[in-house]
Amino acid sequence: MKHKNIFVACDTSNLSEIKKIIKQTQTNKLKVVPKFGLQFFYSKNGRKFLENFKKDFWLDLKINDIPQTALSAVDSLKDLKKCKYITVHANGGLEMLKAIKKKAKSINKDLKVLAVTILTSLNNKSLKEIGHTKSIQQLVLKQADLIKKSGCDGIVCSAQEAKLVRKKYKNLFIVTPGIRLPGDNANDQSRIMNPNDAFKNKVSGIVMGRSLIKGNIKNNVKRLINHLNK
């Protein structure tokens, strides 16, 4: 199971909780990488903590702006030496994606740019409300084409679309959020899947938040290991 990428969503601004999540999700049976989002990064102690973090991490900022502003945002992160993954929105367009990929490579050769497609909290009804006429699957596949063309290192999509993306792009790094252990509440997610089913869809990695960090973290990790062993 060490070859399976497990990203744990450290979704809190409480520094002591962050340290607890990182410590208690570590195991020699799984490869677990912490993912820090806007909540922690924007917090008083968040960025300072990441400046001195000694292990690989994912910075999930979902950058989406005009190319020059997006470039400046990425450039401002160059002091975060252990940042291995960063997210941008595919909605930013081809030129923004290409520019960010080029900038990321120039500041850190190990920094991977992952492009986010349709958020897992959205469904087809949500898309119609926004003004889209295509289905989620159609949009994600279209965005996958854009991401591949841009040279970005990977795609973030729900496990429900991952199978279609993998069929088209055999070697693309595919990460899927919205992952829940069997029986856990979906909360604000619309397109969810359990870890085993996600990996059956040939994803490269999964993001897990509440299923791991709510309640007894060590027990949750054991549940995940047992689930993946089935």
Nearest one of 174, 205, 206 to 192, comparing CA atoms: 206
Q: In terms of Cα–Cα distance, which of 110, 69, 87 is closest to 7?
A: 87
What is the rounded distance in angstroms from the CA atom of residue 50 to the CA atom of residue 34?
11
168 given a catalytic annotation: no
Cα–Cα distance, 106 to 118 (Å, whole number): 28
Three-state SS at 102: helix
Long-range contacts of 127-133 (CB under 8 A, 24+ apart): none
> What are the residues whose beta carbons fall under 8 Å from the beta carbon of 222, sequence distance 6 or more?
none
Catalytic, out of 62, 101, 103, 112: 62
Q: Count of alpha carbons within 13 Å of 143, Cβ hemisphere only?
A: 27
Longest Cα pair distance anywhere in the chain, in angstroms?
48
* DSSP SS3 for 112: strand
Three-state DSSP at 211 gives helix
φ/ψ region of 111 (left if φ > 0, alpha if ψ in -120 to 50, else beta) reads beta
Residues catalogued as catalytic: 62
